[in-house]
Structures are given as structure tokens and as C-alpha cells.
Structure 1
Amino acid sequence: MRPLTNVMMLASILSAGAIFGFFYAWVCSTMWGLDTADPRVAIAAMQAMNASVRNLAFAPAFFGTPFILGLTALLLFTQGQRRSAAALLAAALVYVCFGLLLTMTINVPMNEALATVTVPDDAATAGPIWQTYSSRWQAFNLIRTIASGVALLLAAAGLLLLDRRARPA
């Protein structure tokens, strides 16, 4: 197997793992923590986190993952590694549809709408705003988390499916 193939396989698994871990952290800690906070604090904290997530550290995992998976699939296909290539292509498609596009069409617009909310002075007014936002946002975050986990598993499967005896083209 060529060194480029090794690097691309590892980059695919790393990038899929990074985005899965990012979404997973929201599932099992961040949102649960915000749900237990004063809703005024939760709204303000979520506004701050949403404003800060658009950065150069996050962008490669979020936007780069499907490209890395797709390029790896193409590389594997040119080497005759059809089963491995199919797993990586499936990983890219799952992430694009249920990770990236779902985020861009549902979670981001929800975040942008929350950004326009003036945090109410009283918790009784803030509570329904936060609960409506949080429950819907978490439902869609769970979908993108599961999809990103599936993409990670498919990338790992691509590694396991490599025919190490095959001679590269």
C-alpha cells in the first residue's frame, strides 16, 4: 500500500472522528448543562457559543471531512480497492446529507434566529424561548451526531476492507 493511501485513510478517520466528537459533546454535556441553567443564562451562553464556533479550528473538520473522505474514496478506487472506496464514499455521503446539510439548513438557521433574541429580564419569559429552541435543536443535533458516528464507522470499515495484498495500480 502506498504511503499516500495510509495518510489519506488516517486523515479520513481523524476528520470523521473530530466532527463526530464535536457533535457528540453537544449531546452528552453541553445541552444538558444548558438545560439545567437559568434559561436567561442558557440563551446568552448559546448565543456566545454559536458566535464563536465559526472559526479556523472548527472549519476543517466541519467542511473538510466530506472532501477528505471523497478524495480518499477516489484514491482507493483508482487503486482497485473497490470495497474500501465504497465505504469511504458512503461515509462522505452520509456526512454530507445528515451532518453538513442538516446543520446548514436546520441548526444554523435556528442559531441565527436565537442570535436575534434579546435575553429577557425574567426567567419566566426566557424559559419557553429556551425550551422551544433547545428541544428542537437537540433533536436535529442527535441526527447529525448519529450520522457522523456512522460516517466514522464507515471510514474505519474502509480501513478494515483494504486488500493489503493488492498491488497498487
Structure 2
Amino acid sequence: MTMTQTVHSTRSIDLVTGALVLSLLFSGAIFGFFYAWVCSTMWGLDHADPRVAIIAMQEMNASVRNAVFAPAFFGTPLVLGAAAILALRSGARAAGLWVGAGALLYLFGGLFLTMLVNVPMNEALGALHITLDTEVAEASRIWTDYSDPWKVWNITRTVFSGLAMVCVGIAISQRNA
């Protein structure tokens, strides 16, 4: 191995390591976001006055479209995909395949699922005009019809996001394999 090949190899390993660590950060951020909804937010809203739960969810759904959330939500498959390509090009085949699998898991089970299921549900809820004067029985029906299926799909995207993060962890451990 020549000195040029050694320097190039060292740089690509550093770049791959950085890309894998960034992948872990991104996949962990989006997994944590979805997981928080599973273990606290929805349970709390389910125990609130349904009118308050609807209004609160409408406000949370409107506020999540921001510059802090967008990179983790939209950027995760891009970061994981780039890390997979870098790992494969550097010769870290196992790491590249694992992080590539994580990219696909999140892309389909996280991002696409959210866009196809959760976002339309959120938009339908957001279109409703609910106030504290709305009948409790009507608000309760609306909330139950929304919350129960939304939680199922949120748990699904949480599992897929968690599996993507696990794939990145395995990729890091397999980097030199």
C-alpha cells in the first residue's frame, strides 16, 4: 500500500465513521420523537377533556412543521443513505448494508407511513372547529375516532424508526467487518 492509498484509506474511514455517527444521531432523534408520543403525549391527551385534547393536538400538529423537526424527519433517510454509500465505497460492506437497510426501514416505515397515514389524519383533525363550547360527547367521539388509529400507526412508525436505529448501531459495530 502506498502512502497516498494509506492517507486516502484513513480519510475514508474517518468520513465513514462520521457518517455512521451522524446516522445514529438522526435515527435516534426521530425514534425519540415518535417514542415520546407513544409513552406520554397520547396517554396524557387521552385522559384530558376531549375538547382540550383535540385543540392541543391541533396546535401540536401545526407547530411541528418547523426547522428543528424537519432535518430529523426528512433528513434521516438521506443521511443513512449517504452513510450506506460511503461505507460501501470504503469497503465496509457489512456496515453499508446494515445502514442501507436502516435507511429503507425508516423511509418506508417512518417517513412514507407518516405522510400517507398520520399527516392526513392530522389535517382532517386540524380542519375541525372545536371549542370548549363543543358538546363533550361529540368531542369524545371525534377524539376516540382519531386517537385510537393514530396511536396504532404511531407505534408502527416508532418500531420502524427504532429498527432503523438498531441497524445503524449494528453498522457501526460491523464497520470493519
Number of positions where the alignment pairs a residue of Structure 1 with one of Structure 2:
164
Counterpart Cα distance in 2 of 1:77 and 1:6: 12
Q: Within 5 Å, which residues of 2 pair with 1:35-74?
A: 35-74=46-85
Question: 2:25 corresponds to which residue?
Answer: 14
Counterpart Cα distance in 2 of 1:116 and 1:93: 32
Q: Displaced runs of 4+ in structure 1, greater than 4 A?
A: none
Structure number with larger C-alpha Rg? 2
2:172 to 159, 163, 169: 159
Amino acid at match of 1:14: L
Percent pairwise identity: 51
Alignment root-mean-square deviation, CA? 1.0
More deviation, 35-44/114-123: 114-123
Q: Secondary structure at the match of 1:68?
A: helix
The structural deviation recorded for 1:47 is 0.1
Answer yes or no: is 1:88 the counterpart of 2:112. no
Amino acid at match of 1:137: W
Question: 2:139 corresponds to which residue?
Answer: 126
What stretches of structure 1 of length at least 5 have no aligned partner?
165-169
Deviation track 1:56-101 (CA, whole Å, cap 9, x = no partner) reads 0000000000000000000000011111100000000000010000
The structural deviation recorded for 1:124 is 1.2
2:150 to 137, 145, 152: 137
2:99/2:168 contact within 8 Å kept: yes
Counterpart Cα distance in 1 of 2:109 and 2:57: 22
Counterpart Cα distance in 1 of 2:116 and 2:122: 11
Counterpart Cα distance in 1 of 2:86 and 2:70: 23
What stretches of structure 2 of length at least 5 have no aligned partner?
1-9
Relative to the length of structure 1, the TM-score reads: 0.95
Question: 2:123 corresponds to which residue?
Answer: 112
The structural deviation recorded for 1:6 is 1.7
Amino acid at match of 2:159: I
